Amino acid sequence: MRSESMDPEAGPCGRAGKCHNGAMPGHGERESGWRSFDSSRVGVPRRTPLWERATRELFMPLRIETPSGHVSGTIAGFRSGPIRTIRLDSTAHFGVRTPDLAEGAGAGHLTVAFAVSGRLEVRQYGRRVVLAPGEFTIYDTSDAFAVGSRLPFGARITMLPSDALNLPFGCLAGLAARPFAPGAATGIRALLAECEGSAGPGLAEVLGPLERIGRILAESASRGGETGARADRLGDEELVAAARRLVESRLADRRLSPDFVAGVLGVSRRRLYYACGRELGPLAAYIRRRRLEHASALLRDPEWGGASVAEIGRASGFEDQAHFSRLFSRAYGLPPVRARRSAE
C-alpha cells in the first residue's frame, strides 16, 4: 500500500485532522488500513503534544508523560469494526488514563497489551506488571491506568468491547495488570488476528472470536494461580485495609460491590467476607453505609449547595433517586431533602 508523506505543519493527522494512511511494517499483518504518525518528522518541541493527539485519534484520549520531555517514534492504528489496534515503537513514555479521561471516549472496553520489544509496564488498581516481549496483560478503559515504559519499547495494544466478551462480573477487574501464562498468550494472539482480519464493519462478524477470548480470560480467572498474582497470601489485616481503600476510592462507582472488590483484590468472595467480617461487618452493608455517610457529608457541604439531591445520590453511588431517599430515610430518620434543609 502507498504510504503518504506527512506534512509537518499539519500535525500528526494532516491538515484535515486525519492521520495518514500508511503501511504497518512486518509481523505478518495486512499492510492496508493502517494510519500512522512518525514524530521524528516534526520539531522536538511539538513531538509530545502531537503524539498525544495521534494517540487520541488512533486509539483513545491519554495524557502523555515522558522523562525526556518529548516522544520520538512511530505509532500506527488500525480499526476493524468495533476493534481498534495500535502498534508503537518509541522512546520512553507512559500513556496515562486519568479518572476524568476514563469517563469519556474509549470507556467500556477491555484492552489487551502485548510487549513487542523492550519492557512494557501496565499499572491499574494499585497493581503493576512488567512484560517481556511476547507477554501480555489486560486492563479496563473505564478506570484509570498507565501503560508504557521507562526505556525505549515496542507494544501492540488492542481495544475490545467489554460487553461482547461475556466475562463474569468482576473478572476484568481481577485480571487487570496481572501476568498471564504463555499458553493464554498464544490463544489470545491468534483470536485477535482473526478479529482484525474480519472484513465486516459490525460486531456480528467478530462476535465468535471475541467470545472465545472471553472464555480464555474467564478460565484464567477461575484457575487463579495461572496469573501468578493472586492476593490469597495476604494476611487478614492487609486484606481488610486494601478492601477499605478500594471502597473509599470507588464510592461513586455503580460497579462497586463485594464481587467487584474481590475481583480487584484477586481473592474469593468467601475469603473476603471472612477477613472483613469482624472489623467491617458484612461487606455489602459496609459499602451501603459508607455511601450513605458520603451522601450525608455532601448534603452538608456548602460547595455542593448547587447540586440536586439526585446528583448527590449519583456522586455517592446511588443511581436511583427513590432508592437513595428510602435508604437515607431509614438510616437517618429523615429524607435527604429535609436533611439538607436542617443543615442550612
Characterize the bridge pairing of strands 120-124 and 127-131.
Answer: antiparallel
Res 265 pLDDT > 90 = no
Per-residue pLDDT of 92-134, as tens digits, reads: 999 999 887 877 776 688 999 999 999 999 998 878 899 999 9
CA distance 252 to 249: 8
Q: What's the pLDDT tens digit per position in 70-100?
A: 899 999 998 877 889 999 999 999 999 988 7
Predicted local confidence at residue 86, as pLDDT: 94
What is the grid cell recorded at 155? 507494544
Exposure string of 141-179, with b = 16+ CB inside 10 Å and e = fewer, is bbbbbbbbbeeebbbbbbbbbbebbebeebbbbbbbbbb
Residue 200 has pLDDT above 70, yes or no: no
Determine which helix (DSSP H) or strand (DSSP E) holds 216, and give its type and residue range.
helix 207-223
Distance of CA 225 to the CA centre of its chain: 22
Q: What is the pLDDT of residue 224?
A: 54
Sign of the dihedral defined by the CA atoms of residues 19, 23, 24, 28, in that order: positive
More confident residue, 332 or 80: 332
Split at pLDDT 50, 70, 90, the class of 326 is very high
Residue for cell digits 490469597? 232
Nine-digit cell string for 197:
482480519
How much is the pTM?
Answer: 0.66
Least confident of 182-196, 199-213, 287-301: 199-213
Task: Indicate where the chain has its CATH 1.10.10.60 domain(s).
Answer: 231-344
Q: Which residues of 184-204 are buried (b: 16+ CB within 10 A; e: fewer)?
A: bbeebbebbeebbebeeeeee
Distance CA 313, CA 295 (A): 6
- What is the rounded average pLDDT for all residues in the chain? 82
Grid coordinates representing 98 are 486519568
Q: What CATH number does the domain located at 231-344 have? A: 1.10.10.60
- The predicted structure's pLDDT at residue 199: 53
pLDDT top residue among 232 and 203: 203
Give pLDDT, residue 313: 93
Mean pLDDT, rounded, for 216-245: 67
**3 state SS of 154:** strand
Q: Is residue 175 over pLDDT 80?
A: yes
Backbone φ and ψ for 18, nearest 5 degrees, come out as -115, 140
In this model, does residue 139 exceed pLDDT 70?
A: yes
The pLDDT-based confidence of 30 (bands split at 50, 70, 90) is very low
- Cell matching residue 89: 515503537
Q: Is the pLDDT of residue 44 over 80?
A: yes
Q: What is the pLDDT of residue 223?
A: 62
pLDDT at 184: 85
Q: What is the mean pLDDT of residues 243-268?
A: 83
Euclidean distance between CA atoms 62 and 55, whole angstroms? 7
Residues 207-225: what's their mean pLDDT?
Answer: 78
Q: Does domain 8-227 have CATH number 2.60.120.10?
A: yes
Give residue-wise pLDDT tens across range 149-173: 999 999 999 999 888 888 876 777 7
Residues in the chain: 344
What pLDDT shows up at residue 43? 92
For residue 16, the tally of other CB atoms under 10 A from its CB is 7
pLDDT of residue 198: 65
% the chain with pLDDT above 70 = 82
Q: How far is CA 109 from CA 41, 159, 164, 167, in A?
A: 32, 6, 10, 12
